[in-house]
């Protein structure tokens, strides 16, 4: 029989997003051995390796990256078909705001799949800072938001509803490979403006360590920040999914202060919200994990 097993594709996508079999297992409510076996069977079916394995975890091979695009679409369409037959297809308008730190290289594809799976849903999407998203949600100006908080310190939410947590990602100090060879002193920082959570945690952690630094450039958005860092204009901090080509993590040998994890979550239900919003939150909590 031609084709792939749906459960194996779902596991494959979860492992790719989690970065390791161990991290993917609790997301899938499976044992690590079951996850490993499903990946092995999928690779056998595909006839090519789908992951490069190392001590740090796994990364998709070129063939794996191609299959990953199909796998996410297949899994999403399967869930949309299931919802439609149960009378749970989402219809109507939905105003969504997403922090631009969230899976910067993938979020456009995620939204495209959502439109394909739910053609009767009219999406209005904007990128905003997390604090602005939470304020807009409280005022009823948006229906749903994807926000970022930190796992510790002053930027940790007072009461996080873990039901709507999408993912956790480590924060890292990053720069270009050339600048990483010999970091200047004081440390040249490239950050977003000072009302950005990442800016505040970077400056605060350096101040606490009494590490000398100077703010050399300020970017207006994450895409600009990534470009400046890749150009070797300085050092910044990014969450794992925002570290793209041309950037390297600065490890322990650089003796920079440790950073907390970024925690991405959906805004929680509001009293009296529309049924469309309630349905969409459930769907997005699945779709945005893939």
Residue 27 lies in a domain: yes
Of 39, 68, 85, which one is at a domain's C-terminal end? 85
Structure tokens at 7: 């459960």
pTM: predicted TM-score of the whole model, two decimal places: 0.75
- Residue 270: inside a domain: yes
Do residue 28 and residue 106 come from a single domain? no
Segments forming the whole domain that contains residue 77? 6-85
DSSP class of residue 192 equals -
194, burial (CB in 10 Å: exposed 0-12, middle 13-18, buried 19+) = exposed
Half-sphere exposure of 264 (CA within 13 A, CB side): 25
263 contacts 149 by C-beta, under 8 angstroms = yes
Q: Could you tell me if 133 and 118 lie in one domain? A: yes
Are residue 55 and residue 123 in the same domain, yes or no? no
**Whether 30 and 102 share a structural domain:** no
Cβ atoms of 168 and 103 closer than 8 Å: no
Report how many domains make up the chain: 3
Same domain, residue pair 274 and 144 = yes
Tokens of 227: 């470009």
DSSP letters of 159-173? S--GGGEEEEEEEEE
User: Is the Cα dihedral 30, 34, 37, 38 positive or negative?
Assistant: negative
Are 179 and 219 within one domain? yes
Q: If residue 36 lies in a helix (H) or strand (E), which one and from where to where?
A: helix 32-46
Residue 120 forms part of a structural domain: yes
Co-location of 38 and 173 in the same domain = no
**Domain finish residue from 65, 85, 105:** 85
* pLDDT one-digit tens code per residue, 220-261: 899 999 999 999 999 999 998 899 889 999 998 999 999 999
Answer yes or no: is 1 within a domain.
no
| CATH (domain of 255) | 3.40.190.10
132 and 116, same structural domain?
yes
Q: Is 157 found in the same domain as 46?
A: no
pLDDT, one tens digit for every residue, the chain (290 residues): 678 999 999 999 889 888 889 988 888 889 999 999 999 999 999 999 999 998 778 889 999 989 998 998 888 888 878 877 776 677 889 999 999 899 888 888 888 888 888 888 888 999 999 999 999 999 999 999 999 998 876 666 544 556 688 888 899 999 999 999 999 999 999 999 998 989 999 999 999 999 999 999 999 899 999 999 999 999 999 998 899 889 999 998 999 999 999 999 999 998 888 888 888 888 877 776 65
Are 158 and 275 in the same domain? yes
Same domain, 102 and 214: no
Question: Domain check: are 147 and 30 in the same one?
Answer: no
- Residue 57 sits in a domain whose CATH number is 1.10.10.10
């Amino acid at each position: 029989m031609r084709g792939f097993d749906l459960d194996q594709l779902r596991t494959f996508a979860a492992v790719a997003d989690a970065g390791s079999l161990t991290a993917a297992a609790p997301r899938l409510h499976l044992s690590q051995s079951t996850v490993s076996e499903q990946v092995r069977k999928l690779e056998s079916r595909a006839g090519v390796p789908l992951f490069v394995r190392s001590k740090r975890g796994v990364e998709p091979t070129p063939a794996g990256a191609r299959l990953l695009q199909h796998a996410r679409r297949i899994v999403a369409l399967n869930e949309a078909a299931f919802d439609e037959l149960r009378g749970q297809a989402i219809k109507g308008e939905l105003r969504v705001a997403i922090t631009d730190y969230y899976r910067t290289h993938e979020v456009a594809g995620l939204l495209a799949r959502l439109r394909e799976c739910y053609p009767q849903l009219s999406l209005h999407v904007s990128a905003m800072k997390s604090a602005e998203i939470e304020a807009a949600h409280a005022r009823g100006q948006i229906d749903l938001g994807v926000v970022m908080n930190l796992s510790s310190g002053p930027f940790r939410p007072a009461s996080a509803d873990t039901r709507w947590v999408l993912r956790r990602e480590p924060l890292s100090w990053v720069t270009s490979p050339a600048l990483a060879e010999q970091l200047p002193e004081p440390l040249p920082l490239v950050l977003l403006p000072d009302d950005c959570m990442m800016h505040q945690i970077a400056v605060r952690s350096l101040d606490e360590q009494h590490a000398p630094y100077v703010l050399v450039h300020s970017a207006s958005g994450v895409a600009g920040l990534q470009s400046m860092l890749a150009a070797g204009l300085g050092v910044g901090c990014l969450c794992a999914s925002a570290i793209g080509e041309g950037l390297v993590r600065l490890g322990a040998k650089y003796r920079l202060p440790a950073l907390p994890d970024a925690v991405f979550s959906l805004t929680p239900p509001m009293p009296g919200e529309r049924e469309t919003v309630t349905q969409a939150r459930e769907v997005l909590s699945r779709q945005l994990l893939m």
